[in-house]
């Protein structure tokens, strides 16, 4: 038995197989025993809990929905449930796993040579090696197609020059997936594996973050970094390649944020059942308080059904990126609203780190922005239904 019992109003569990429930419960127990006891301190100190990398590798969390090369081969639903439980603990730890899995292992898996897959995937799966994904630049966030990072062909490889910004795990990574325009190919965007100990590669951490404090965020600088020709991800070609990686990450986020919302709802429910105000009655007996609980449990339930359906489409190979945009946009918004409502329900206590709510709220401000902002996903859906790109 563990304190967090999950949040399930509509008997969502009946949609899950026994294996899916087992994966979810194993992750929940891992989070309860290993992350919950240390997360508030990590958040205060701005420390990434690196000691959890190896155990997470042993549980198969990295590249969980990939087949072979030491990966767990989970279904997309199982992978999503892992993300939900991790983010119930903290969005920073889920971010780390998202990047390692969806943004580093997936591009190697989808676009890499057999040699690259054999070299990197088994070590990334155990957490022996860590990775990061460099798409965003200081001047190009929502519009990555404008990137300035360039790759120039040499006799035996490529020389890379450019700056990347807001890169999760940048300074702890052994390998960076760097997206650059290849000068000799009409500026076509391609992906490169750049070992971070190469001359000319530098990572500097972003300090002063009020969000994702338990996650490392860095700026990367590449100055005449030479990589051999074998470091090009051969299957990449065009902006579509990094965007395909984003779909994987956005899918995981859409599950993950439900976990953060559940943590806040659960905290507010327990708190308002015991805290008394007026006529010695629990807060939960007041109609306005019940309205807040009803709103949250309704939105959490709708979000679960939405991403479960998208996950089924993904398993069937029928998902469109606009479907994933809808899930990311809706579920992050829903989770942020839950943090704000539940923070309010705890009154003054809600602003302290005796409770997880304000940490989740601050984390989700990043989650709303990264992997395509809320408004960019609005425009992606708008483009899909009208055929008119309004970016």
The residues annotated as belonging to the active site are: 371
Nearest to 367 by CA among 241, 240, 259: 259
Binding mask 159-178 for ligand TGC (x = CB under 6 A): ---------x----------
Nearer residue to ligand TGC within complex by CB, 169 or 304: 169
Question: Is 101 an interacting residue with respect to ligand TGC (CB under 6 A)?
Answer: no
Binding mask 135-174 for ligand FAD (x = CB under 6 A): xx----xx-----------------------xxx------
User: How far is CA 212 from its chain centroid?
Assistant: 11
Question: Is 347 an interacting residue with respect to ligand TGC (CB under 6 A)?
Answer: no
Total Cβ atoms within 10 A of residue 288: 8
Let me know: does 130 contact 119? Beta carbons within 8 Å. Answer: no
Residue 159 binds which of ligand FAD, ligand TGC, none (CB < 5-8 A, kind-dependent): none
Nearer residue to ligand FAD within complex by CB, 288 or 390: 390
Binding mask 129-158 for ligand TGC (x = CB under 6 A): ----x-xx-----x-xx-------------
Question: Is 99 an interacting residue with respect to ligand TGC (CB under 6 A)?
Answer: yes
Three-state secondary structure along 291-326? HHHHHHHHHHHHHHHHHHHHHHHHHCCCCCHHHHHH
Measure the CA–CA gap between 266 and 169, rounded to whole angstroms. 30
Q: How far is the CB of 316 from ligand FAD (least distance, A)?
A: 28
Burial class (CB in 10 A: 0-12, 13-18, 19+), 218: buried
Output the six-digit token pair for 266.
Answer: 């659960």
User: How far is CA 32 from its chain centroid?
Assistant: 19
Residue 321 binds which of ligand TGC, ligand FAD, none (CB < 5-8 A, kind-dependent): ligand TGC
Q: Given the rule CB under 6 A, which residues bind ligand FAD?
A: 99, 133-136, 141-142, 166-168, 212, 217, 366, 369-371, 373, 375-376, 391
């Amino acid at each position: 038995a563990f304190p967090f019992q999950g949040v399930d109003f509509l008997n969502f569990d009946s949609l899950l197989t026994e294996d899916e429930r087992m994966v979810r419960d194993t992750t929940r127990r891992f989070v309860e025993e290993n992350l919950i006891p240390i997360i508030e301190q990590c958040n205060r100190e701005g420390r990434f809990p690196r000691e959890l990398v190896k155990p997470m590798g042993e549980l198969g969390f990295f590249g969980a929905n990939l087949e072979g090369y030491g990966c767990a081969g989970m279904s997309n639903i199982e992978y999503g449930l892992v993300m939900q439980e991790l983010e119930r603990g903290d969005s920073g730890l889920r971010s780390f796993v998202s990047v390692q899995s969806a943004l580093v292992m997936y591009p190697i898996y989808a676009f890499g040579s057999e040699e690259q897959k054999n070299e990197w995937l088994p070590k990334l799966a155990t957490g022996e090696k860590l990775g990061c994904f460099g798409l965003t630049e200081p001047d190009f966030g929502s519009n990555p197609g404008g990137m300035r990072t360039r790759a120039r062909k040499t006799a035996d490889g490529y020389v890379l020059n450019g700056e990347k910004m807001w890169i999760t795990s940048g300074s702890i990574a052994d390998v960076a997936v760097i997206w650059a325009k290849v000068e000799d190919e009409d500026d076509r965007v391609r992906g490169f594996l750049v070992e971070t100990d190469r001359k000319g590669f530098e990572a500097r951490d972003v300090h002063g973050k009020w969000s994702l404090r338990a996650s490392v965020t860095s700026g990367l600088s590449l100055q005449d970094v030479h990589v051999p020709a074998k470091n090009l991800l051969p299957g990449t070609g065009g902006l579509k390649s990094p965007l395909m990686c984003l779909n994987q990450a956005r899918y995981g986020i859409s599950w993950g944020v439900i976990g953060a919302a559940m943590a806040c709802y659960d905290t507010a429910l327990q708190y308002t059942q015991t805290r008394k105000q007026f006529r010695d009655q629990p807060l939960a007996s007041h109609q306005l308080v019940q309205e807040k609980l009803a709103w949250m449990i309704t939105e959490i339930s709708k979000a679960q059904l939405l991403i479960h359906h998208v996950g089924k489409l993904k398993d069937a190979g029928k998902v469109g990126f606009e479907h994933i945009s809808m899930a990311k946009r809706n579920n992050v918004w829903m989770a942020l609203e839950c943090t704000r409502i539940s923070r309010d329900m705890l009154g003054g206590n809600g602003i302290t780190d005796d409770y997880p709510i304000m940490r989740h709220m601050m984390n989700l401000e990043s989650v709303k922005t990264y992997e395509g902002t809320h408004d960019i996903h609005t425009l992606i859906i708008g483009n899909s239904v009208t055929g008119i790109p309004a970016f």
